[in-house]
Amino acid sequence: MKIARVAVQRGWLKPCFAVAGIAAVIAAVAGWITAGGAGAWAAPTGVALVALGFAGSVWAVAAVEKIDLRLTILMALITYAVKLMLVFAALWIVQSIAPNALLPFACGIVGGAVAWLVTQAVWSYRAKIPYIELGQGN
C-alpha cells in the first residue's frame, strides 16, 4: 500500500486534524490575549489554512498515486507551490484588510505547521507500515 493512501485510509489525517483543532483553540486564546479581537480570529484562521493545505496535499498525492506512482513527486511539488502562493496571497489580503491581524495570522500559520508536522511525524514513527527490503542484488 502506498504511503499517501496509508495516510488517508489508516487515519493519519484524523490525529493531525485533531491536533490542528487544539492548536486553533490555543491560537485563538493566545491571539486574543496578545492582539485582542483581531488576533482571536486571525491566529486560528492561520492554523486552519495550514491544516487544509496539508490535507489537500495528501488527498492530491493519494489521488494521483492511483493513476501512476511516478506522478506523486510531481504532484507533491505542484501542491507545495500552490500552497506557498495561497499562503502569500492570504498574508497579503490580511495585511491589506486588517494590518493589526497580520502577526497573529502569520504566527497561526507557523504554529499550525509545527503542530501538523509533529503529529504527522509521531504518527509515522508509530505506524506499522509494511515494506519490502530489497536484497543487495536489486
pLDDT at 132 over 90: no
C-alpha to C-alpha distance for 62 and 8, rounded to whole angstroms? 8
**Section 71-87 average pLDDT:** 96
| Phi, psi values for residue 36, rounded to 5° | 75, -150
Output DSSP code: residue 12.
S
Q: What's at 45, amino acid-wise?
A: T
- Name the more confident of 101 and 134: 101
- Read off the pLDDT of residues 52-64 as tens digits, 9 standing for 90 and up: 999 999 999 999 9
Whole-number pLDDT of residue 3: 57
C-alpha to C-alpha distance for 119 and 81, rounded to whole angstroms? 23
- % of the chain at pLDDT higher than 90: 76
Task: State pTM to two decimals.
Answer: 0.85
Give Cα separations from 22 to 116, 119, 125 (angstroms).
11, 12, 21
